[in-house]
Each structure stands twice: as C-alpha cells, then as structure tokens.
Amino acid sequence: MKPMFGVVVQPGTTTDQKKTGWRIYRPLYLQEECIGCQACRQCCPEGAVYRIDKKEYDSDLDACKGCGICAEMCPVDDIEMVLEEEGLVEGEEAPL
C-alpha cells in the first residue's frame, strides 16, 4: 500500500478547519497583566490569536489547537492553559 502523508505548508493554512473536537487544553486569556507585546500572536502556529485592544488579546477557539505555545511565550503569564471542559463558557457544549 502506498503511504499517504499530510503536510501543513504554512502557519495558519488550517484556520478554516475546526479543532475543537480533539483539543484537550484551551488557552484562557486572562487580560489582566497583558503588556501588548504580541508574542502570543506572533508565535501561534494557527494564526488563531487576535487583538481586541492594545493590551487585550484572545484566541479564536475554532482555530486554536491547544498547543500551549502562546501561554509558554507570554512574558507576564497572562495566558493560562486549562482543560477543555473547565474552560467552557455559558451555552457552549463539551467537545465529543
């Protein structure tokens, strides 16, 4: 059988695909200590982080795969990785 491989050629090229079904952790942008450095936005491999205001960022959870790089890179620990079930907002259903 011929092996088949999938390759992501550029960051953000899978943003049209929802990742919520298999994500274990999700980033929680606390928006308390943010200094607006944009490290989270620049390092996200999915291009999921967006700016709300100068010192206020969040991530598109349809695009986020929960890798935790943004939380790791944030110099002021303003992003927390939480279990997917723990981060559900009102009206949101748990992934399968």
**19 Rama class: left (phi>0) / alpha (psi -120 to 50) / beta:** alpha
* Radius of gyration of the chain, Cα coordinates, nearest whole angstrom: 14
Shortest distance (Å) from residue 3 CB to ligand SF4: 27
Which helix (H) or strand (E) is 43 found in, with range? Answer: helix 39-43
Residue with tokens 């010192």: 55
Report the site for ligand SF4 in 5-24 (rule: CB under 6 A): none
Shortest distance (Å) from residue 21 CB to ligand SF4: 14
In this chain, which stretch among 1-9, 10-18, 71-79, 82-90 interacts with ligand SF4, using CB under 6 A?
Answer: 71-79
In this chain, which stretch among 6-14, 65-73, 83-91 interacts with ligand SF4, using CB under 6 A?
Answer: 65-73
Distance CA 49, CA 95 (A): 21
Tell me the CB-side half-sphere exposure of residue 51, using CA atoms within 13 A: 10
In this chain, which stretch among 7-15, 73-81, 85-93 interacts with ligand SF4, using CB under 6 A?
Answer: 73-81
**Contact residues: ligand SF4, CB under 6 A:** 27, 34-40, 44, 46, 48-49, 57, 59, 64-70, 73-76, 78-79
